[in-house]
Amino acid sequence: MEEGPYKYIRVRTDNVKLLCVLLFQLARIQTDSVAATLKELYSDVHLEIVGMTTIGDKILDTALSKIGEKSLFTKELENALEKNEVDLVVHSLKDLPTTLPPGFTIGAVLKRENPHDAVVLHPKHKGKTLETLSEHSVIGTSSLRRAAQLKKRFPTWTSKILYLSKDSRGNLNTRLKKLDEKDDFAAIILAAAGLRRMGWENRISQILMPEDCMYAVGQGALAVEVRARDEDLLEMVSVLHDHDTVLRCIAERAFLRRLEGGCSVPVAVHTELKDSQLYLTGAVYSLDGSDSLKETMQTSITATGKVTAEVQRVGVTASKISGEAQDRAERLGTDLANLLLSKGAKEILTVARQLNDAR
- Give the CATH number of the domain where residue 137 resides: 3.40.190.10
Structural domain span for residue 248: 18-114+217-358
Domain boundary among 157, 180, 207: 207
Identified catalytic residue from 57, 87, 95, 230: 95
CATH number at residue 311: 3.30.160.40
Average pLDDT value for residue range 84-102: 90
Give mean pLDDT, residues 269-295.
97
pLDDT on residue 218: 98
Looking at residue 110, the DSSP 8-state letter turns out to be P
Asked about 95 being catalytic, the answer comes back as: yes
Within a domain: 346: yes
Q: Torsion over CA of 5, 139, 266 and 108, rounded to 10 degrees?
A: 30
Q: Is the pLDDT of residue 333 over 90?
A: yes
Average pLDDT of the chain to the nearest whole number: 85
pLDDT surpasses 90 at 314: yes
CB neighbours of residue 270 within 10 Å = 21
If one counts every other C-beta atom within 10 angstroms of the C-beta of residue 359, the result is: 9
Q: Which of 207, 229, 258 is the last residue of a domain?
A: 207
Same domain, 236 and 174: no
Residues 126 and 160 in one domain: yes
Same domain, 231 and 345: yes
Amino acid present at 291: D
Structure confidence by residue, pLDDT tens digits, 23-48: 578 888 888 899 899 889 988 877 77
321 and 249 together in one domain = yes
Domain count, the chain: 2
Q: Considering the entire predicted model, what is its pTM?
A: 0.89
Mean pLDDT of the region 270-297? 97
Binned at pLDDT 50, 70 and 90, residue 5 comes out as very low
Per-residue pLDDT at 317 exceeds 60:
yes
**Same-domain pairing of 229 and 169:** no
- For the segment 265-271, the average pLDDT, to the nearest whole number, is 96
Residue 9 included in any domain = no
The mean pLDDT value for 215-225 works out to 97
Measured distance CA(119)–CA(222) in Å, rounded: 22
Residues 91 and 125 in one domain: no
Statement to judge: residues 106 and 125 lie in one domain: no
For residues 184 and 294, state if they share a domain. Answer: no
Better-predicted residue by pLDDT, 93 or 62: 93
Q: Is 121 found in the same domain as 98?
A: no
pLDDT digits (tens, 9 = 90+) for 108-137: 999 999 999 999 999 999 999 999 998 778
- Same domain for 200 and 63, yes or no, is no
Same domain assignment for residues 148 and 36: no
Same domain, 196 and 156: yes
Measured CA distances, 289 to 5, 133, 134, 213 (Å):
29, 20, 21, 11
For range 138-162, the mean pLDDT? 81
Of 207, 227, 262, which residue sits at a domain end?
A: 207
Better-scored residue on pLDDT, 52 or 238: 238
Any domain includes 12: no
Q: What is the pLDDT of residue 309?
A: 62
